[in-house]
Chain A
Amino acid sequence: MTPLDKVEGRAIPFGLKNVDTDVIIPAHWLKTTTREGMGRGAFESLRADPDNLFDSADFKGAPILIAGDNFGCGSSREHAAWALGDLGIRVVIAPSYSDIFSGNAVKNGILPVVLPQSAIDRLMEVATTDPVFVDLEHQTVTTQYQDRFSFEIDPFRKMCLLEGLDEISLTEKSDAAIGAYEAKLDADRPWMRPAA
């Protein structure tokens, strides 16, 4: 996973509330075999409109997405995080997220920043014309004006994102403990291995 520290660039002033994972990536995209290319399916129904934000000259490839309350609700599909990542999004800024979505986002190297609605409103305004700066180390979102918003993040998630650590790498640090468990299981309950 690519480590994430400072992200700066255009921020898509999307702002919609209760965006469910079916809007982020429609169900028919579940029938794929790779994570790559899923960005094409991201926000497919909204992007059917030729004047949509996502494909506009200003925001195409923008690394930051500003959204409304309860972003990523609905079905637990992890494809939503893959689709955003493939679209080039590294940071989402919203007042709240579904639990499953924010977990999936972090697992896939995307930072879900939580800010109050007043901050979101201000950022939406700035984002229409100017870039936004996100600093994970210092937990701030700033603009080239006087704006400076601090956000909270779980220290474990922060460390994973900063170091680009995925959960598998973390668990691999427990390799010896897993090996010891396996050895003890084979000794205590050898019949647990499939017989055939």
Chain B
Amino acid sequence: MTRPRTLYEKIWDAHVVEQRPDATCLIFIDRHLVHEVTSPQAFAGLRASGRTVRRPDLTIAVPDHNVPTTPRLDAAGNKLPIADPESAAQLAALEKNAPEFGIRYIDATAPEQGIVHVVGPEQGFSLPGTTIVCGDSHTACHGGIGALAFGIGTSEVEHVLATQTLLLQPSKTMEVRVEGEVGPGVSAKDIILHITGVIGAAGGTGHVIEYTGSAIRALSVEGRLTVSNMAIEGGARAGLIAPDETTFAYLKGRPYAPKGADWDAAVAYWKSLATDPGATYDKSVVIDAADIAPSVTWGTSPEDVVPITGVVPAPESFADPSKQAAAAKSLAYMGLEPGTRMQDVPVENIFIGSCTNSRIEDLRAAAAVIKGRHKADNVKWAIVVPGSGLVKAQAEAEGLDRIFTDAGLEWREPGCSACLAMNPDKVPAGERCASTSNRNFVGRQGPGARTHLVSPAMAAAAAVTGKLTDVRELMA
């Protein structure tokens, strides 16, 4: 009998091409997602060394980081120019590089275009049990369907393009088990914010986290992608959720997913991936779902999480002196006083989008809160950016776009947008944003911008009241 193994170990073992004398392994990469920001120098490197892409069939290129979220075509259907010359150059490079190297390319004006991590699962390109890489740190997202997925740098992008492999050290394993049922108004985002608050931004360093337990099993695939997306914010290399019937139902019939007899063979294989009884993790954390409230961040690290009913903590309340110093710095940047009730913090900007929270379920949750209401007067800028053109079309078919625009929110074209503010969507310096994205780092949403990470329903609630708000009060 073989030793009981975790989901991570099974995927790792199935991808070892060669083992080096140390623990390093050459790992086969099943899927490679390429976008415009981290790929130009990789393609330039290939060209300079006369190399080709080993497996163009396992690669998809789609622009998302830089694209403006304003209309991309004029009334006559012609492409509108990109104002920022550097973004335009990166986008043009991808448009040229992809066909030159024989890679599938989804243009910014195509209906399937969207954020790489939304497009992969949506197209059935990302599959359980596969290894997936992308030059973006939130690639862990695909772990929500049971893929071992992680972000890589530009040199590694070039390495994968040329060899379809990466040299990697095995990670340690960590289980985060969330048991029980979450209360009303608590979403997948609140679960992962709460987890990040509990384990800390470095809690998963050197590990791959597998999320288990009844509260995780109860999540839709959209919710699981949200949870795994932020594995990296807990310091982990990747996140994983074992594929199950929910996963299979989500993937069946998607364009790149297996069909017919292949589908049945695939499902049988995917079912074999679940962590064996008796397998052990290097580290385990158990969380009671009942403890999770609608959550919000107060600082500039994703671990700076409090329930919306809480207050801004005092730096002295932390035991660790380096955390005390970091908290004091965070509060100065965020313009917050210790003891302030989170619900008294006004927000001028709302961002509903990013690969964390821009899928149809996220937009439905936000629309349900905002329906029949209007944004508060002090909210100057409120945008809803669907994760892909297909999500956008679905939302429009359900009338969600009208709910948002009637409430005074802007309905945009898909892309990363104010998640990292590389395109024109930026939060002004010194202003606050209730944001459904994944990082509240200094300057992430624009120089001097102050980010409060929240769920889509909580962002919608903040839009309505003009301050951070307990969404449960609007649900009554």
Q: Taking each of B31, B163, B266, which has the highest tally of chain A beta carbons within 10 Å of its own beta carbon?
A: B163
Decide: B167 and A171 in contact? CB cutoff 8 A: yes
Decide: A195 and B258 in contact? CB cutoff 8 A: yes
Residues facing B in A137-196 (CB within 8 A) are 167-168, 171-172, 174, 177-178, 181-182, 185, 189-196
Q: Does A20 contact B (CB under 8 A)?
A: no
- B residues in contact with A185, CB < 8 Å: 28
Q: Does A82 contact B (CB under 8 A)?
A: yes
Which listed residue (A168, A177, A181) contacts B158, Cβ 8 A? A168
Decide: B162 and A33 in contact? CB cutoff 8 A: no
Kindly supply a per-residue 1/0 record for chain A positions 15-35, scoring 1 wherever the CB is within 8 Å of any chain B CB and 0 otherwise: 000000000000000111111
Chain B contact residues: over half helix, strand or loop, or mixed? mixed
Q: Does A135 contact B (CB under 8 A)?
A: no
Which listed residue (B130, B164, B422) contacts A178, Cβ 8 A? B164
Decide: B257 and A171 in contact? CB cutoff 8 A: no
Decide: A32 and B26 in contact? CB cutoff 8 A: no
Kindly supply a per-residue 1/0 record for chain B positions 72-108, scoring 1 wherever the CB is within 8 Å of any chain A CB and 0 otherwise: 0000000000000011011001000000000000000
Decide: B17 and A78 in contact? CB cutoff 8 A: no
Query: How many whole Å from B268's CB to the nearest CB in chain A?
Result: 10
Q: Please, how many angstroms separate the alpha-carbon atoms of A35 and B162 in the complex?
A: 18
Q: Does B154 contact A (CB under 8 A)?
A: yes
On chain A, the number of residues with a Cβ less than 8 Å from chain B's Cβ atoms is 31
- B residues in contact with A181, CB < 8 Å: 17, 28
Q: Does B248 contact A (CB under 8 A)?
A: no
Q: Please, how many angstroms separate the alpha-carbon atoms of A166 and B89 in the complex?
A: 27
- With A33-B93, A189-B265, A195-B257 as given contacts, are A177 and B163 in contact (CB-CB < 8 Å)? no
- A residues in contact with B158, CB < 8 Å: 168
Which listed residue (B44, B162, B263) contacts A191, Cβ 8 A? B263
- With A31-B422, A168-B163, A172-B163 as given contacts, are A191 and B155 in contact (CB-CB < 8 Å)? no
Q: Does A96 contact B (CB under 8 A)?
A: no
Q: Taking each of B130, B155, B258, B263, which has the highest tally of chain A beta carbons within 10 Å of its own beta carbon?
A: B155
Q: Does A104 contact B (CB under 8 A)?
A: yes
Q: Please, how many angstroms separate the alpha-carbon atoms of A31 and B84 in the complex?
A: 10
Residues facing A in B163-207 (CB within 8 A) are 163-165, 167
- With A168-B49, A194-B256 as given contacts, are A33 and B44 in contact (CB-CB < 8 Å)? yes
Decide: B159 and A191 in contact? CB cutoff 8 A: no
Q: Closest A-chain residue to B66, C-beta based? A: A31
Decide: B155 and A78 in contact? CB cutoff 8 A: yes
Decide: B130 and A192 in contact? CB cutoff 8 A: yes
- With A78-B153, A185-B28 as given contacts, are A34 and B165 in contact (CB-CB < 8 Å)? no
Q: Does B255 contact A (CB under 8 A)?
A: yes
Decide: B159 and A168 in contact? CB cutoff 8 A: yes
Decide: B18 and A167 in contact? CB cutoff 8 A: no
Query: How many whole Å from A165's CB to the nearest CB in chain B?
Result: 12
Decide: A32 and B40 in contact? CB cutoff 8 A: yes
Residues facing B in A21-61 (CB within 8 A) are 30-35
Decide: B30 and A192 in contact? CB cutoff 8 A: yes
Decide: A33 and B130 in contact? CB cutoff 8 A: no
Decide: A196 and B255 in contact? CB cutoff 8 A: yes
Query: How many whole Å from A90's CB to the nearest CB in chain B?
Result: 18
- B residues in contact with A107, CB < 8 Å: 155
Query: How many whole Å from A14's CB to the nearest CB in chain B?
Result: 25
- With A171-B165, A177-B17 as given contacts, are A30 and B57 in contact (CB-CB < 8 Å)? no
Q: Please, how many angstroms separate the alpha-carbon atoms of A191 and B37 in the complex?
A: 31
Q: Closest A-chain residue to B254, C-beta based? A: A195
Which listed residue (A32, A82, A171) contacts B163, Cβ 8 A? A171
Q: Please, how many angstroms separate the alpha-carbon atoms of A139 and B3 in the complex?
A: 45
- B residues in contact with A196, CB < 8 Å: 255-256
Q: Closest A-chain residue to B262, C-beta based? A: A191
- B residues in contact with A117, CB < 8 Å: none
Query: How many whole Å from A72's CB to the nearest CB in chain B?
Result: 13
Q: Please, how many angstroms separate the alpha-carbon atoms of A80 and B452 in the complex?
A: 30
Q: Please, how many angstroms separate the alpha-carbon atoms of A77 and B31 in the complex?
A: 23
Query: How many whole Å from A57's CB to the nearest CB in chain B?
Result: 32
- With A34-B44, A181-B17 as given contacts, are A171 and B262 in contact (CB-CB < 8 Å)? no
**In the complex, given contacts A32-B89, A181-B17, A191-B258, what are 6 additional A-B residue pairs having Cβ atoms less than 8 angstroms apart?**
A31-B86, A33-B41, A77-B153, A171-B26, A172-B163, A196-B256
